[in-house]
Structure 1
């Protein structure tokens, strides 16, 4: 078990279609007490780096991350320039989240080959090593405010990607879902989550106490909404949860007090200290977050 860290909480946002709406969303997230605003990287929504810079202008303290970039879409050297510029223009509030990409249709729409998972992870690792090399160069410009570059989050599930995360990342992020060969996601149960965390910790070795673990929470809801969730997603729930989605680490159910208790349990069981909720759950999770702050 890694050393217990203080909680951090993020909300992963989809950037809306207007500047005003985005500014209001970011200010509301900060007002509610979130530590990090995450910005998704998908086609059909505004690009993450301009959105991060506007979010920084609209807020005072909240950190900003790409949660997570489809790394195969980016040339590593050009990405380094974007990251450094964003860190410079936000006064060092950036966290860089990287993933290997999994939505096959987006690769096809962008005209980028959807290569094997191994090839996509290779590109991610090349990207990380390129960024580290460039940011370590005292002559490199533009110069990121945070040295030696913004904190790096790597999201993964498979052995290879978690091994890369363990070698390079400051934050190891788990989604509670595995990517299939078809470019879709499969929900994982508690036993598989425990296995993945244990694998990452083993690969981290002496770094285990230095690295933060992040969990992406997919649903936060009152008990009254559980039947609807089961009706919509029951067919994809792992057998081990016996039709009870609240047994999944990525689902939080109940009152604010019950949700806070479950988050504490997830920290004690798996070592997660950094939790990210999706935008639709931003308001619902906030009361539990306030309770957790008072206890931490």
Structure 2
């Protein structure tokens, strides 16, 4: 049986503090299940321009705290934290505190980091992917210990902490963990460790570009689901793939009656053919009816039931959220 649809709204920026609060409240009133922020740090300049990444003008942790206080029922999430940017114990403490104030509404999104130019601009060491993922796994272990009963005791190659209990403790256990990624190893870890798997591009290039978009075609997304299934088979909690929630960012969303023309204009931007973009799991292009039909097809094909839209299309996708949420 398919999971019911739910939808997230992700924002990178706000014009004012009140604008940020209003974005969160609006997402709540429109029926989105989650309001989330990404985790990027550097502002405009040559370092960011070289990555092709948009500016995020608010830091994730305080922005989430403000959104928590501004809302009553909507989940507040990170999509996703770069674990490399933070000292692990301090990170665990911040997350536990966010969970304390969220009163059960925290969605904990985690990733191992990928934007090479941001690392370098910040002076954060850019290790090869295998090292970053090793460190990521140790950080997950620390977080679970910090949220759990008893004292923290971890002595890894990258993370060391011992002799204390993590506080505050979550009232409802470890909050839902989302792990995001687009390559084989990280998706296997997600299948093994996460509650929510966020399918993303394979960003091995360290920047946004056609290579990343091309790594998430329909065919390659099928392969990614296979990596998640393989990881889920190794879970220690006895839960299999069917217990996982599969999420995806609808990065290329255009609500339009001219689907053919829009596909023809957009596809060359990503070095794709129009029919490839039409079936691309991160693209939703067409009328409200057509997009709703496509979401249903993708849920059947890939198990994707959780879709996150960017704040720039909130008005256009409102009818989709209203029609499909909970169905």
TM-score, length of structure 2 as denominator length: 0.83
1:231 deviates by: 4.0
From the superposition, tell whether residues 283 and 143 of structure 1 become closer, same or farther in structure 2 (CA, over 3 Å): same
**Which range is displaced more, 243-252 or 38-47?**
243-252
SS of residue paired to 1:209: helix
SS of residue paired to 1:92: coil
CA displacement 1:218-245 (0-9 Å, x = unmatched): 122114376466545515244xx55552
From the superposition, tell whether residues 242 and 231 of structure 1 become closer, same or farther in structure 2 (CA, over 3 Å): closer
1:146 deviates by: 4.3
1:66 deviates by: 0.6
* Higher percent of residues as helix: 1
Distance in 2 between residues matched to 1:47 and 1:146, nearest whole Å: 26
CA contact (8 A) 1:237 1:245 kept: no
Query: Which residue of structure 1 lines up, in the alignment, with residue 283 of structure 2?
Result: 251
1:103 deviates by: 1.1
1:137 deviates by: 2.6
TM-score, length of structure 1 as denominator length: 0.91
1:124 deviates by: 1.1
**Which of 258, 272, 294 is the equivalent residue of 1:224?**
258
Distance in 1 between residues matched to 2:206 and 2:23, nearest whole Å: 34
Distance in 2 between residues matched to 1:293 and 1:9, nearest whole Å: 7
1:161 aligns to 2:189 (yes or no)? no
Query: Which residue of structure 1 lines up, in the alignment, with residue 36 of structure 2?
Result: 38
Query: Which residue of structure 1 lines up, in the alignment, with residue 118 of structure 2?
Result: 106
**Which range is displaced more, 124-133 or 158-167?**
158-167
Query: Which residue of structure 2 lines up, in the alignment, with residue 196 of structure 1?
Result: 224
CA displacement 1:151-202 (0-9 Å, x = unmatched): 1100011111112112211111102x21133444511210000111122113
CA contact (8 A) 1:249 1:266 kept: yes
Alignment gaps of 5+ in structure 2: 44-56, 152-164, 234-238
Distance in 2 between residues matched to 1:27 and 1:290, nearest whole Å: 16
1:78 aligns to 2:106 (yes or no)? no
